[in-house]
Amino acid sequence: MNVLGVETSCDETSAAIVTDGREIRANIIASQADLHARYGGVVPEVASRKHVERMLPVLQEALTTAGMTWADLNAVAVTNRPGLLGALLVGVSAAKALAYARNLPLVGVHHLEGHVYSNFLAAPDLAEAFPLLVLIVSGGHTQIVRMDGHGRYALLGRTRDDAAGEAFDKGARLLGLPYPGGPNVAKLAEQGDPNRVPFPRSWLGDSLDFSFSGLKTSLRTFMSRDNGQTPSADVAASYQAAIVDVLTEKLRRAARQTGIRTVCVAGGVAANRSLSAALQAMAQAEGLRLVVPAPVLCTDNAAMIAAAGYFRLLHHPPDGLDFDTFASEPLGSA
């Protein structure tokens, strides 16, 4: 079954074609990052307008790359929640029009569920490994979920304030680095000493919750006191290490508490090499199987939406053409 995936929840216009939830035939991603960089972050109205311009060329390119025509598609999956409403509406309108015109089954996909399913693209045998633990680390969300089956999630921990991606992005701004912050902090950190500045780690007792807002404040305080004396690469590496340590340790605790042996990571921050190295070391020490998708599948893309849509359609009837978009909604809502 060839599923067309469409993703426009933030600043990437993406269309993908995935066969049977595992074989990526095309995954076209048109990023708007350069456009938003001058504003220091995503401007929702600019994002919506760019999606309108790019949606059809991106769809066409997906077909060309896959060597397919519209007639080869068997279903359409589109991100409908959560995200920037104006941006979501562009992808959802295009997907509905296509599904109607071609009489194809259509499914609205939760963006975080899409991130989770990037792991199934990386490791198709995961479907036999339930229950799984998934650390979701994106720009707006940080959570640890237990996945008991397709579409079945239990929230074990979540951030009480900033998301990990937000901590990277806000830290980048304080360090004077351009948008998008995460990759730029990671790049600068490569030459730095992660032990130079002892930034705080917020453990919150035995909880699997996270808190990153204090870390951001301590970076601000450090910067104003340090007056540029410490090399910025050392500051970036130390700041990144504080985020990575907490994410890694909380996933270790979740695995110990639940006894689950297969752990996955999803979302833009999962593209961070320092995080994946720390998770690898932790998984090896604990005897866990770890799945980390390739960086292009960690950040926003439509292949993950097509994969999530495929598995949803295997187990549920398609959505009607009247489904809505939602700016925020927890993972696991129908």
Q: Residue numbers of the site for Zn ion (CB under 5 A)?
A: 138, 300
Q: Are 76 and 70 in contact (CB under 8 A)?
A: no
Q: Determine the Cα–Cα distance for residues 232 and 124; give it in Å rounded to an integer.
A: 41
Q: Does 181 bind ligand KG4 (CB under 6 A)?
A: yes
Binders of ligand KG4 among residues 265 to 284 (CB under 6 A) are 267-269, 271-272
Of 172, 181, 185, nearest to 216 (Cα)? 172
Please, which residues have CB within 8 angstroms of residue 210's CB and are 6 or more apart in sequence?
142, 157, 158, 159, 160, 164, 202, 204, 246, 247, 250
Shortest distance, position 264 Cβ to ligand KG4, whole Å: 14
Q: Does 186 bind ligand KG4 (CB under 6 A)?
A: yes
Residue closer to ligand KG4 by CB (options 82, 318) is 82
Residue 108 interacts, among ligand KG4, Zn ion, none and using kind-specific CB cut-offs from 5 to 8 Å, with: none
Taking CB under 6 A as the binding criterion, the range among 47-55, 148-156, 200-208, 262-270 that sits at the site for ligand KG4 is: 262-270
Q: Does 183 bind ligand KG4 (CB under 6 A)?
A: yes
Q: Are 6 and 58 in contact (CB under 8 A)?
A: no
DSSP state of 18: E
Residue closer to ligand KG4 by CB (options 262, 276) is 276
Shortest distance, position 114 Cβ to ligand KG4, whole Å: 9
Query: Kindly report the CA angle at 125 between 16 and 301, in degrees rounded to 5?
Result: 20
**Binding site residues, ligand KG4, CB under 6 A:** 10, 138-140, 165, 168-169, 180-183, 186, 267-269, 271-272, 299-300
